[in-house]
Amino acid sequence: MQVRHFASVGLLLSCAAGATFVHAQQPGVGQTPSSLPLTAPIRERGTSVTPAFEGWYFDKDGSQHVLVGYFNRNTKQEFDIPAGPNNRIEPGPADQGQPTHFNAGRQWGVFTIKLPKDFGTKKLSWTIVANGFTNTITLHTNADYIVEPFEDAANKNTPPKLKFEPTGQVFTGPPSTIAAKFTGTVGVPVPLTVWISDEGPKINVPEPSNRGRGRGARGGEPAAGATGATGATGGRGAARGAAPEGFTPPPPMAVTWTKFRGPGDVKFDNNKPSIDRAADGKTVTNATFSAPGGKPASCASCAIRSGARQASSAGFMTTALPIANAGAKLRPNICAG
């Protein structure tokens, strides 16, 4: 895709969406001791984790869902916070499918909550307590926060697609169901194989260009000093607008696996496996779980990035479907950028 998308599955599987996503994040109820959660500094350790309301949307069956992520401001500290007093959604059960493992940085569109038909103007809240800081975000269906995770109206861009068998069911869009089940033994690697694809936008597709078009570049050829797809640079004196020396563009498609929730650790042989385009987008890695599955089962997440460009101010995202694993849950995220 030509825009940034994000998505997730549980073994959880997550798939990036290609539809228009409006930055609909709102401030939290408050962080202790600061009244403004976004004022918390980004540090290696010792600061907060803030829930993030991405927006809400209509699913294809007409049901309403809220799309939720988070921001862990600790660059070198991850958290395991079980569903309960320090990781709760209210009202209702504390555990409504939210992550219990929090990776560093901003994590987009991590999970969704299906809303009851009579939800109306009611509200939910998600509270996370980390390093002594408490942050709460409100989840609602205000019209200003609606998003479209299935198709971008401007260019007909759709989310990437993911399969667990070469000819198996295709999963796409925000996370909503169990996509596949894997059974393994603690300490023994479990192979994880997925196939991904992305159609990209259908209309209003920008002409490919080197960013210095018109100033030292002709006929689609890169100007001297511009960075090519391999990251190699030419001589000095790059054309205006060309990529800086040493810059390596992101790959058209990339996959990342991380832990999502559950007991114990999940280790990957390679959490960013290569994609075999000659084999229909096949990716392979192994996951090793340190603890047997409980309730909830242990879970990991895989993110897929597609496309070399990002929309200027809008984001695009979805998350593709949970996968359950007997020993632990994994959640692949697909991101298109």
How many C-beta atoms surround the C-beta of residue 75 within 10 A?
12
Share of the chain above pLDDT 90, in %: 36
Instruction: List strand residue ranges (DSSP E) for 34-100, in order.
Output: 49-58, 64-72, 79-80, 87-90
| Predicted local confidence at residue 83, as pLDDT | 96
> Which amino acid, residue 337?
G
Residue 305's DSSP bridge partners are 254
Across the range 198-205, mean pLDDT stands at 84
Rounded CA separation 311/21 (Å): 10
Rounded CA separation 173/6 (Å): 9
How many C-beta atoms surround the C-beta of residue 219 within 10 A?
4
Dump pLDDT digits (tens) for 144-200: 999 998 888 888 888 888 888 999 988 888 877 667 777 778 888 989 899 988 887
Tell me the three state secondary structure of residue 111.
strand
Q: Are 156 and 203 in contact (CB under 8 A)?
A: yes
Across the range 99-117, mean pLDDT stands at 93
Rounded CA separation 89/247 (Å): 42
Burial (CB count <10 Å: 0-12, 13-18, 19+), residue 88: buried
Burial (CB count <10 Å: 0-12, 13-18, 19+), residue 31: buried
Rounded to two decimals, the pTM is 0.72
